Amino acid sequence: MNTEKAYLNVVHQNFKSMKTLAEGAIEQLTFEELHFLPNRESNSVAILVKHISGNMISRFTSFLTSDGEKPNRNRDTEFEDGYISKEELLAAWNFGWETLFKALSDLKEEDILKTVYIRSEPHSVMEALQRQISHYSLHIGQILYIGKLIKNDGWKTLSVPRGKSDRFTQSIKDRFIKNE
């Protein structure tokens, strides 16, 4: 496998992992909890979903051929409430991810160093993808933090459980030793 193909595989896995983590948090929250605001300057999970989805649709629609900041995007409204149900929120969330994964699946190894634009600023495809990985990671971390804040002791961990690091590490080692 060449470097470009390996890079695209890693990018796909990173986005897939982020989506899974965020959905693990969203699943644990009620519709009302998805709208909880820790303070006036914070965003709710619902607002973060709206922003991430809006960003994905803008950035990844016609990814290689048009500016990633689409003229029909109204970023400011992404920071206002607006979902009438959890199903509507999830539909918007999934549409954003479908748009992203479709663009990723269309990429070819030779596209990695092509130039794309975000707000007229040139980026290589690799730079644009890294920019989005960084951006979405930040917001998905916020989603997880808000979920933990709300659920407190009722939170179902989505990673290595507290106090169980050694057991987790050993299970990874055992799995790799068994596969050798």
Model confidence pLDDT, tens digit, residues 8-30: 999 999 999 999 999 999 999 99
Region 149-174: what's the mean pLDDT? 86
User: At residue 164, does pLDDT exceed 90?
Assistant: no
Q: What's the mean per-residue pLDDT of the chain?
A: 94
User: At residue 6, does pLDDT exceed 90?
Assistant: yes
More confident residue, 179 or 168: 168
- Domain 3-179 matching CATH 1.20.120.450: the answer reads yes
Question: What is the per-residue pLDDT across 71-114, written as a single tens digit (0 to 9) for each?
Answer: 999 999 999 887 999 999 999 999 999 999 999 999 999 999 99
Say if CB 34 and CB 26 are below 8 A apart. Answer: yes
For residue 121, report the phi and psi dihedrals to the nearest 5 degrees. -85, 125
Region 35-50: what's the mean pLDDT? 95
Q: Which residues contact 37 (CB under 8 A, 6 or more apart)?
A: 43, 44
| 3-state DSSP assignment of residue 124 | strand
Number of Cβ within 10 Å of residue 177's Cβ equals 8
**Domain coordinates of the chain in residue numbers?**
3-179
Q: What is the C-alpha to C-alpha distance for residues 22 and 41, in angstroms, rounded to an integer?
A: 21
Q: What is the pLDDT of residue 165?
A: 83
Using 50, 70 and 90 to split pLDDT, how confident is the model at 42? very high
Q: What is the pLDDT of residue 180?
A: 67
